Structure 1
Amino acid sequence: MLAKLAYGSRYDRVPWSQRVYVRPAERLFREAQWRWLTGRSPVVPLDAYQRVRPLGRIEEFLSCMMCGESRQQPLYEPAGGDGWRYHVVRCPSCGFLYRNPNVRPERLGDLYATGYNTFLTGGYAANRQRRYDLTMKAFSPVFDEGKQRRLLDFGSGAGLFLELAEQRGFDACGVDLSAESVALANERLSRARTYFGAPGDVPEIAAGGFDVITLWSVLAHLPRPLEDFHRFRSLLAPGGVLLILTVNARSLLLKAYGSKWSGFTRNHLMFYSSQTLRTLLGRTGFAGVAFAPHYGDTVEAGTTKLPAELTARLRRTVDLSDGGNMMRALAFADEEAIGRWGGGPHRIHRLRA
């Protein structure tokens, strides 16, 4: 309502996902709104938090995975039309956002046991391969040529990315927790193959030696990220890289829409910013990371209906706020990887354990 009063109908034709990036001064307003929210929301000890929150049959209470802080700052309560609901808290020490209570690792497969492949191949999948292609271009030349290079797609779903990896010549394989999706992917693929389970369950994957590992919209689904990233680091060959695409916890859309943010989906467990991702990578043995800002698929593909002036304003807003709705990162296993792949346009952040 406040935006309507301030701007009238001038921006009504701008898609809701772009309005907060193009309306004058809205970035400053949303960032002030975020500071107000985090400044006024109470911080409570974990034991007090547990007393007022119900615990589902597949859930457990957590302390912060990034820094170990046990206090909680409750912020959001996302909910869906099919009855799901959960609570999102912020770590008052490092700012990490996560679902609490969270899903127990041994019950993670419950979220993907049935029907997930329908989601992956429905409306969600319509523009997925375009997004993969745009992200690969953003980190060129890492993905330009795959010949004689091994690639693991972790959380490979219905095989949409592995299909592109095949076309680029990679010796590619994938792993996923949805048996239905694995079967669908293997029907789709000609040379690559996907497997059901965790990397350690598959000898061909557990042996490691991968030049590239990709996590397409997977990071937010991991209940034990430190354990998983130690494993990813061990699976990479010298000079290897890890690609991450995930929702961005610094998104201006999150600051604007709160519990109704599109990043709060039924199966998402943890929500990273560029800062908390650096913490995760540094603690698990990676040498560096580069980030490519995400302006939106239509903007990057050149198909947006925004006028040139508003397109330029959107790009500036994303750059100034680190507030794109998605976060794209390329993590380097070691100094050899930085030397081989770090010559692109994006700044490399050196990491420390």
Structure 2
Amino acid sequence: MTNRILAKLAYGSRYDRVPWAQRVYVRPGERLIREAQWRRLTGRAPIMSRAAYERLRPLGEIEEFLDCMMCGESRQQPLFEPTGGKGWRYHVVRCPACGFLYRNPNVRPERLGDLYSTGYSTFLTGKYAANRQRRYDLTMKAMSPVFDEGKERRLLDFGSGVGLFLELAERRGFDAYGVDLSPESVAQANERLSRARTYFGAPEEVPEIAAGGFDVITLWSVLAHLPRPLEDFQRFRSLLAPGGVLLILTVNARSLLLKAYGSKWSGFTKNHLMFYSPQTVRTLLARTGFAGVAFAHHYGDTIEAGTTRLSPAHAARLRRSVEASDGGNMMRVLAFADEEAIGRWGRGPLTVHRLHD
């Protein structure tokens, strides 16, 4: 039986008004069941050498085999085989040393542009874009006061797509720039924007961006797309001004939805390469020179926006479960460049974790 049928038998229709992505957090006992399911999977899945793993997998034209990017471990624990429309398929392994999840074989950095060369801007402006700006607003609110006032502050949106976030950054007064690997998206973004500008290519190829001095860098649903995250984050750190911060929104590889749906998890999309949990994000930031990190729980866009109303009991259970387990299916992260950034932006409801204590 499918998970959906089993849930219907167990719970009836009492949770039909709860969005599907929140039901694993709301239905009694399900969080513990999914956590046990994950422990069983990772405890039983085989662990093999990279050489043994390579013998099992064909290597595509734009692909390469990797060791773990977070800790260097070469052993592999194969877990998932996501598939999707138009025949895409890839393999996801877990690092048995640090728990990092990543696609293996992965895409070679010099071929990353192949994933975005044509048609990607159409995806970004279609169904995908319908609620993007609401998500951006909700995340900026959760990270207040970082985004409350942009006057005389420089902002870089890395992976800026068709400029949906840069449009909001303009309205808040930021001196805003963007960079993207899709030429179609860059062209559409610059048609949309009035003061902000976005560029095609890498940050070091654009003089206006390579000069650095940014107060804020944003990565909206970009982190999972980076084939060399350590190199990229070292660059981001160098581009930040003293007191600067970096915002990440990405899928959460500690999510109960991953543990419930496995290869059918919504975070396994065609162009995603690596999948981070709060722990592996900490590792990435610590290794690339950031001073601290804070996380904001994600309860679901429609619930936070008030367009989906839960009963008081369901709402309370959702909050307790998200806060006690994984922080939500999406991970919202604020990284602090230095102690000055922690002192300036680390107050309020966010709890700052220093990375080098």
Aligned equivalent of 1:294, options 294, 298, 313: 298
Could you tell me how far apart the structure 2 residues matched to 1:8 and 1:224 are? 46
Structure 1: gaps spanning 5 or more residues: none
| Counterpart check, 1:255 vs 2:255 | no
Query: For residue 295 of structure 1, what is the amino acid of its counterpart?
Result: Y
Query: For residue 160 of structure 1, what is the amino acid of its counterpart?
Result: L
Secondary structure of the 2:216 match is: strand
Could you tell me how far apart the structure 2 residues matched to 1:233 and 1:323 are? 25
Aligned equivalent of 1:133, options 105, 123, 137: 137
Q: CA-to-partner distance for each residue in 1:239-298, whole Å, 9 max, x for gaps?
A: 000000000001111110010000000000000000000000000000000000100111
Could you tell me how far apart the structure 1 residues matched to 2:302 and 2:311 are? 13
Q: CA-to-partner distance for each residue in 1:317-340, whole Å, 9 max, x for gaps?
A: 110102411000000000000000
Aligned equivalent of 2:82, options 71, 78, 81: 78
Query: For residue 280 of structure 1, what is the amino acid of its counterpart?
Result: L
Match in the other structure for 1:113: 117
Query: For residue 89 of structure 2, what is the amino acid of its counterpart?
Result: R
Aligned equivalent of 2:235, options 221, 231, 234: 231
Aligned equivalent of 2:199, options 177, 195, 209: 195
What's the offset of the Cα at 1:312? 1.7
The answer (yes or no) to whether the contact 2:296–2:327 under 8 Å persists in 1 is: no
| Counterpart check, 1:277 vs 2:277 | no
What's the offset of the Cα at 1:15? 2.8
What's the offset of the Cα at 1:13? 4.0
Match in the other structure for 2:6: 2
The answer (yes or no) to whether the contact 1:45–1:72 under 8 Å persists in 2 is: yes
Match in the other structure for 2:312: 308
Could you tell me how far apart the structure 1 residues matched to 2:240 and 2:290 are? 10
Q: CA-to-partner distance for each residue in 1:80-105, whole Å, 9 max, x for gaps?
A: 02100000000000000000000000
Secondary structure of the 1:268 match is: coil
Match in the other structure for 2:32: 28
Query: For residue 96 of structure 1, what is the amino acid of its counterpart?
Result: F
Match in the other structure for 1:179: 183
Secondary structure of the 1:228 match is: helix
Match in the other structure for 1:320: 324
The answer (yes or no) to whether the contact 1:318–1:324 under 8 Å persists in 2 is: yes
Aligned residues: 353
What's the offset of the Cα at 1:352? 2.5
Could you tell me how far apart the structure 2 residues matched to 1:66 and 1:89 are? 13
Could you tell me how far apart the structure 2 residues matched to 1:297 and 1:206 are? 34
Query: For residue 209 of structure 1, what is the amino acid of its counterpart?
Result: G
Secondary structure of the 1:257 match is: helix
Could you tell me how far apart the structure 1 residues matched to 2:17 and 2:143 are? 32
Query: For residue 247 of structure 2, what is the amino acid of its counterpart?
Result: L
Query: For residue 318 of structure 1, what is the amino acid of its counterpart?
Result: V
Query: For residue 277 of structure 2, what is the amino acid of its counterpart?
Result: S
Match in the other structure for 1:148: 152
The answer (yes or no) to whether the contact 1:220–1:246 under 8 Å persists in 2 is: yes
Query: For residue 284 of structure 2, what is the amino acid of its counterpart?
Result: L
Could you tell me how far apart the structure 2 residues matched to 1:290 and 1:344 are? 11
The answer (yes or no) to whether the contact 2:82–2:268 under 8 Å persists in 1 is: yes
Secondary structure of the 1:266 match is: coil
Query: Per the alignment, do residues 147 and 323 of structure 1 end up closer, same or farther by CA in structure 2, a change over 3 Å counting?
Result: closer
Secondary structure of the 1:185 match is: helix
Could you tell me how far apart the structure 2 residues matched to 1:223 and 1:174 are? 19
Could you tell me how far apart the structure 1 residues matched to 2:47 and 2:161 are? 38
Q: Tell me how large the CA RMSD over aligned residues is.
A: 1.0
Aligned equivalent of 1:216, options 211, 214, 220: 220
Secondary structure of the 1:82 match is: helix
The answer (yes or no) to whether the contact 1:229–1:281 under 8 Å persists in 2 is: yes
Match in the other structure for 1:57: 61
Q: CA-to-partner distance for each residue in 1:296-315, whole Å, 9 max, x for gaps?
A: 11111111132222122111
The answer (yes or no) to whether the contact 2:17–2:310 under 8 Å persists in 1 is: no
Structure 2: gaps spanning 5 or more residues: none
Q: CA-to-partner distance for each residue in 1:197-232, whole Å, 9 max, x for gaps?
A: 000110110010000000000000000000000000
Could you tell me how far apart the structure 2 residues matched to 1:170 and 1:192 are? 8
The answer (yes or no) to whether the contact 1:139–1:344 under 8 Å persists in 2 is: no
What's the offset of the Cα at 1:26? 0.3
What's the offset of the Cα at 1:179? 0.2
Query: For residue 162 of structure 2, what is the amino acid of its counterpart?
Result: A
Structure 1 stretches of 4+ moved >3 Å = none
Could you tell me how far apart the structure 2 residues matched to 1:4 and 1:331 are? 41
Aligned equivalent of 1:91, options 80, 86, 95: 95
The answer (yes or no) to whether the contact 1:252–1:323 under 8 Å persists in 2 is: no
Query: For residue 179 of structure 1, what is the amino acid of its counterpart?
Result: P
Secondary structure of the 2:86 match is: coil
